[in-house]
Chain A
Amino acid sequence: MAAVLSSVCCGLLLLACAPDQASGPASPSPQLLQDAAPPNPQTAVLKTRRRLNEQQATELAGRLGLQLIHAFHYQNLVLVAGTFDEAAILSAGGPDVIGISRGASVRGGSDLRTWGHLAKPRGSQVVFVSQSASGVRIGLVDSGLDCAHPDFLYTGSTTCVVGRSYSFVNYEPNPYQDLGGHGTSVASVGAARVNGTHLFGAAPDV
């Protein structure tokens, strides 16, 4: 009896699908964000020390020479557009700004993609969502999660945010390691933390 395999949905773009799984159309290579042509203007998410209302966020963006796109009401985050100099922003932002999540471009970067498609666009405007999911538990049934990835560490810590986990793969007992790669990518879409690096997920505090 043939072994029953349960394999994940390997995306068309992904690098290392086994040859017998890559029978679809020719796959473009994954595109590293840092290789993308620098778009202009760019966007970034600023992590702030405290939660800002719309007016405070507007003031902060103005002080940094940036345009406010959205203040996330339930998280200490402000989405801004403009031309960035990270060091200058961190210094001019004074005590308010404690992190910048970059890599996102207006053309379609990580942060924006992860947020922008959660709701019906209003005209040509992407609609953003601010709602904490703290205290709710999502179970990721997948290839594990790379708990060394900064997207899943508490800010300024090496502690992984994931609770007690399990492996049902008898020859790979560590659920906090992801050698397949799929689970980490899926988890990042839903729940990558806001910590000034890489990207953040749709519900970053879940």
Chain B
Amino acid sequence: MTMLFLEELQWVWWIIIFLMAYYYYNWAQEHLAFSPILTLVVAAILIYYLVIVYPWAGLLGWFISIIMFSGLLFMGAVFAPFLFRAKPK
């Protein structure tokens, strides 16, 4: 049972790796849209270092960029007054 779970986790890990690579390629494409060659070069560097060599760093950067740029923090600020409301006396 445990082995099965770990094997499935391997599959999940490969999916995460693929998504990460796609994310960094997409980032390069968005930021260097004016030059296809530069896009490929930067995407290759990013994927080599952040997906192949140091996937933990790529994962950390991915999570941090999602937290910073997705609007999660804005949403937190929107719902914070309702979550941490003063109790009525």
Q: Do A and B bind each other?
A: no
B interface residues, Cβ below 8 angstroms from A: none
**A residues whose Cβ falls under 8 Å from a Cβ of B:** none
